[in-house]
Amino acid sequence: MKPIACQIHDRLPADFRRHLKGQRPALLCDELLTSACPIRGTLVIMITRTFFAAAAALTLATSVSAQEAVVSDVSAVETAATSAPVPLAQIDPSKTFVLKYDVRLGVLSRPAYFGSDEYITRPDFALGFDYVRLKGLGEYGSLDANARPSAFGVRGSLRFIGERNSDDYDDLQGLEDIDPSLELGMGVVYRQKHFEAFADARYGFGHDSFTGEFGMDGIAYPNEKWELRVGPRVVWGGQGFADTYFSVDGPESTASGLDKYQADGGILGAGIEATARYRFNNLWGMEAGIRADRLLNDAAASPITDAGSEDQFRVRVGITRELVLQF
Q: Is the residue at 169 inside a domain?
A: yes
Asked if residue 253 belongs to a domain, the reply is: yes
Number of compact structural domains in the chain:
2
Kindly state whether residues 55 and 114 are assigned to the same domain.
Answer: no
Whether residue 140 sits in one domain with residue 31: no
Boundary (domain end) residue, out of 70, 99, 128? 70
Domain end call among 39, 70, 101: 70
Cα-Cα-Cα-Cα dihedral of 167, 169, 175, 179, to 10°?
-70
Do 253 and 139 lie in one domain? The reply is yes
Q: Please check whether residues 164 and 223 belong to one and the same domain.
A: yes
Regions of the chain with pLDDT less than 70: 1-90, 141-150
Q: What is the CATH number of the domain that holds 196?
A: 2.40.160.20
Residues 49 and 173 reside in one and the same domain: no
State which of 70, 104, 123 marks the end of a domain.
Answer: 70
* Same domain? 52 vs 107: no
CA–CA separation, 45 and 53 (whole Å): 12
The Cα angle at residue 174 between residues 170 and 180, in degrees rounded to 5: 85
Give the residue from 144, 148, 141 showing the smallest Cα distance to 193.
148
Asked whether residue 25 falls in the same domain as residue 63, the answer is: yes
Instruction: Specify if 81 maps to a domain.
Output: no
pLDDT of 154: 81
Q: What is the pLDDT of residue 163?
A: 95
Same domain for 10 and 139: no
In a domain, 75, yes or no: no
Domain assignment present for residue 45? The answer is yes
| Residue 9 near residue 24 (C-beta atoms within 8 A) | yes
Q: Go through 256-294 and write b for each residue having 16 or more CB atoms within 10 A of its CB, e for each that does not.
A: bebeebebbbeebbbbebebbbebeebbebebebbbebe
- Same domain flag for 55 and 99: no
Do 137 and 33 belong to one domain?
no
Q: Is residue 76 part of a domain?
A: no
pLDDT value, residue 100:
82
Judge if 48 and 175 occupy the same domain: no
Strand partners, 202: 185, 211
Half-sphere exposure (Cβ direction) of 318: Cα atoms closer than 13 Å:
21
Q: What is the pLDDT of residue 30?
A: 39
For residue 143, tell me if it sits in a domain: yes
For residue 162, give its domain range: 88-326
Give a yes or no: residue 118 inside a domain.
yes
| 171/261 same-domain check | yes
Residues 6 or more apart whose CB falls under 8 angstroms from that of 266 comprise 236, 237, 242, 297, 298
